Each structure stands twice: as structure tokens, then as C-alpha cells.
Amino acid sequence: MGESAIGIIRLSGAAALAVAAPVLKTSMALEEFPSHALRRVAVVDPATGERVDEALCVVMRAPRSATGEDVVELSCHGSPPLLAMVTRWLIAGGARLAEPGEFTRRAFLNGRLDLAQAEAVALLISARTERAVALAARALAGELSARARALGAELLDVVAGLEVTLDFPDDHVGLDVEKARHVVGRLRGDAGRWVADARQGRVVHDGLTVALVGPPNAGKSSLLNALLGRARAIVAPTPGTTRDVVEGTIALAGVPVRLLDTAGLDQPRDPIEAEGIRRSRQAIEESDLLLVVLDGSLEPDARVVAETATRARILVRAKSDLSPHPAAAALGEAVAVSALTGDGLAALGHRLAEEVGRRAAALGDEGGIVASLRQVELLAALEGALRSGEAALRTAPLEAALVDLREALMHTSAILGTEVGDAVLDRIFATFCVGK
């Protein structure tokens, strides 16, 4: 913890008021505090009564609280030793430290949030751009939950109707199989769009990795510094200065973009340079996009151009302030840039933003979803089960189709958290920060 203006201590549980009362000096008993109203209190040593802070206290009574339990929040001054001291007193009075994500987990278990919304809390906390914040806030408000709940309700009607059709095949009751197939096909299409939206949302949340690659002394480090707007990488006229991967992050099209400056691709002269080149090639494999940086004043390195030809890339003709080599004309698609004068940086930034936006569907946030990896996997499994069910309704016995449709219902329930075990919950909330 660092120093701050305010530090909040939160207690949740049936004994929250009883545990908090001994460390507070108030004009009325804590049990008499009106719910959801801030009151000024003194924080005192429960053993001596010595005053240690002036704070604001709010009592939020169950079930109208974040966790669905009685909650007491103290807004103290943000001194780490003060906050640690008050926390020790509360623990001595019967409280215990929260586990990572325990407050949100209690909210889920007490029905204040479904699991999709609970996971959105972690996504909101870890969002690194305004666009990621907006998508996570929509998930927290229940957008993904509402979609899953509506699909589940419609699918449940289909399954129930087909069960009646299966049990009474000659009575012409239940749901017509052809009509069921039409509904399942529509739901499968919805799920497929959600999968695409969710994967794009993961790009917005996680970001993209762009590696700057090229021959030694092509200007990669200078370009990295120019794109970052600060001297992140060491620049020198000696080839092979960069021996390890250097990175920095910028935001483009509302997406965090991780830039990797790599060692020049060349024949290594010593074991250290060989390791740097190995890491460069590893960065190439792990990157979503390459900036292939070539010195425009020299003949283009054919080996580098060939090695990166099968990857998504942008060719960059660096050092455009120098006289171009005649062979550089062959790089007609390359963006001419001078890190020294700044010429071409805006054009390169625009080109990068276009590539990032295309991968993250920058214009499609109206229907965008940001989802956890667990939810993305469940959405993909949901689409697959609906696809199998639709096919089975066309060619297979009704019993076989119902197996697939029940599986789809199970995936819908898992998204909302109505059918998950403790092991899954432990894994989900272990990723949260303490106190949330």
C-alpha cells in the first residue's frame, strides 16, 4: 500500500457492526446509525480509548448492500500504518482478512450479482483503456447476463416442447420439430455473433502485441522511442546495441498496444547476440503484428523481408531523412519515417491504428462484449452445442438432438453461475485483488 488521501476499511458479515463498534466513538450507538448515510466518527484504540483519527462511517444493512450482508465502511485518512493498526484492532475483535475477491464472491452467493457480472468486476478493475472500461461497465450492468438469460429461457421452451413431442408422438402436441430447428438455428446465429464480439472484446481488454523487427542498426530502437514519446530503448550507431527485447505500451483505437523492440536479425557474432536473435524470433511468433523496419538509405535486407512475408506486417522505410537507396523503391507499400525529424510518424500511427481497429472492431462497440476467458470458452461451447442440435434436428433421432440442446442449456447456466462448483468459483475469484 502507498499513502493516499483516504483509505477505506470494509467489514461484511452478520457481526460487522458488533466488531466495528469498539473502535469508534460516536454520538449514537452504531446499531442506531441510519442505513446508507455517512456520519463523522472518531476512531479510537479499543483498549485505551485514545483517539487516532477522524473518519467517515457508513452502515449498509442487509440485504441492501454490495455483499447482501451487513456492511460497515470506514473512510479513514490514508496512512498505511494507521490503516494497518485499525485493521489489527478489528481482527482482534473477531474479524478476519478477506480473501481475494471475497466481497464479490459473497455478492454472488447472496444473489446480488450473477457470475457473469461478478467476473466483470475483475475485468473493470484490470481495464487499461477507456474503451475497455466502457465494455466492462456494460458487462457489470448485466448486458451479457441478459443475453444469456434470454437465450436460456427460449432454449428451455424449445427443450420442454420437444420433450412433450417425444413423449406423445401421435397426439400432435408439443413443439413441431421443423419449427424447433428454425428457433435453434436463430439462437445458434446469436451465439456465434456473441463469440465474435467476445473475442474482439478480449482484444480491447488484453491488447495487441506489435514487434519491431529488422536488420541491425535499421532504426528500430529510435522508432520505438518516437512512438512511445520517450527514450525507452538505448540508441547508438553501433550495430547490435539491442541485445534483449525492450517493451513499452501505447493506446491506439482504445486498445492497449504492447510494442517490442527486438535485436537485429543477422548472423550472430557471439553467444549473447545469438540469444538476442533467438528472442527476436520468439517475439515474432508471439506478436499479432510486425513493424518490419528497414534502413531506407541501404539496400533492403532480402532475408528479413522474406522471413516476415507470411506474417501480418507493416513495412517501414526508416531514416527517410537520408537519401533513399535506389532499391528502396521496391518497397512501395512501406511507410517512410524519420525518427530524427518526426516525418511520417503520424502516417505510421494512423496505419497502426487502422490495423488495431480492424482487429478490435473499433466501430462495433454498440454490440461489443468483454468477457473472461472462461466465458469466451463457454460461449464457443454454447454455439457448438446449438450447431450440433440444429443438425441433429434435421437428420438424427429427436433423442440425439435433445442431448445437444440440454448441453447448450448447461453452458448457458454456467455463464450465469447457476450450475458451477466450488472449484470453478475458487479459480475465478483467486484472480481478484484483496478487498474486492
19-48 per-position pLDDT tens digit: 999 999 999 999 999 999 999 999 999 999
The CA-atom distances, in angstroms, between 253 and each of 166, 330, 364 are 52, 30, 12
- pLDDT score of 127: 87
368 has pLDDT over 80:
no
423 has pLDDT over 60:
yes
Question: Is the domain of 34 the same as that of 92?
Answer: yes
Question: Is the domain of 77 the same as that of 170?
Answer: no
Question: Is the domain of 131 the same as that of 192?
Answer: yes
Question: Is the domain of 248 the same as that of 335?
Answer: yes
Looking only at Cα atoms, what is the longest distance across the chain?
87
Query: Could you tell me how many residues make up the chain?
Result: 436
Question: Is the domain of 222 the same as that of 345?
Answer: yes
| Bridge partner residues of 213 (DSSP) | 292
Q: Are 258 and 249 in contact (CB under 8 A)?
A: yes
The CATH number of residue 31's host domain is 3.30.1360.120
Q: Are 344 and 319 in contact (CB under 8 A)?
A: no
The one-letter code for the residue type at 294 is L
The tens digit of pLDDT for each residue in 296-339 reads 888 888 888 888 888 888 898 888 888 888 877 777 788 888 88
- pLDDT score of 170: 67
Grid coordinates representing 89? Answer: 484492532
Instruction: Compute, in degrees rounded to 10, the torsion defined by CA atoms 183, 184, 185, 187.
Output: 90
**Domain boundary at 310, 338, 360, which?**
360
Q: Identify whether 245 is part of a domain.
A: yes
Question: Is the domain of 235 the same as that of 353?
Answer: yes
Q: Identify whether 114 is part of a domain.
A: no
- Spatial distance between the Cα atoms of 212 and 196, rounded to a whole number of angstroms: 28
Grid coordinates representing 378? Answer: 463457454
Question: Is the domain of 292 the same as that of 354?
Answer: yes
Task: Return the SS3 of 94.
Answer: coil
**Domain boundary at 63, 97, 131, which?**
97
Q: Are 396 and 240 in contact (CB under 8 A)?
A: no
Q: Identify whether 107 is part of a domain.
A: no
Q: Identify whether 102 is part of a domain.
A: no
Q: Identify whether 366 is part of a domain.
A: no
How many domains would you assign to the chain?
A: 3
Q: Are 375 and 198 in contact (CB under 8 A)?
A: yes
Provide the domain limits for residue 237: 212-360
Rg of the chain over all Cα atoms, to the nearest angstrom: 29
| Bridge partner residues of 76 (DSSP) | 7
| Bridge partner residues of 7 (DSSP) | 76
The CATH number of residue 232's host domain is 3.40.50.300
The one-letter code for the residue type at 96 is R
- Spatial distance between the Cα atoms of 429 and 436, rounded to a whole number of angstroms: 9
- pLDDT score of 171: 66
Q: Identify whether 397 is part of a domain.
A: yes
Q: Identify whether 174 is part of a domain.
A: yes
Interstrand relation of 24-25 and 38-44 (parallel, antiparallel or unpaired):
antiparallel
Q: Identify whether 113 is part of a domain.
A: no
Question: Is the domain of 349 the same as that of 254?
Answer: yes
- Spatial distance between the Cα atoms of 403 and 185, rounded to a whole number of angstroms: 16
The CATH number of residue 384's host domain is 1.20.120.430
Looking at residues 376-400, what average pLDDT do you find?
A: 94
The tens digit of pLDDT for each residue in 53-90 reads 999 999 999 999 999 999 999 999 999 999 999 999 99
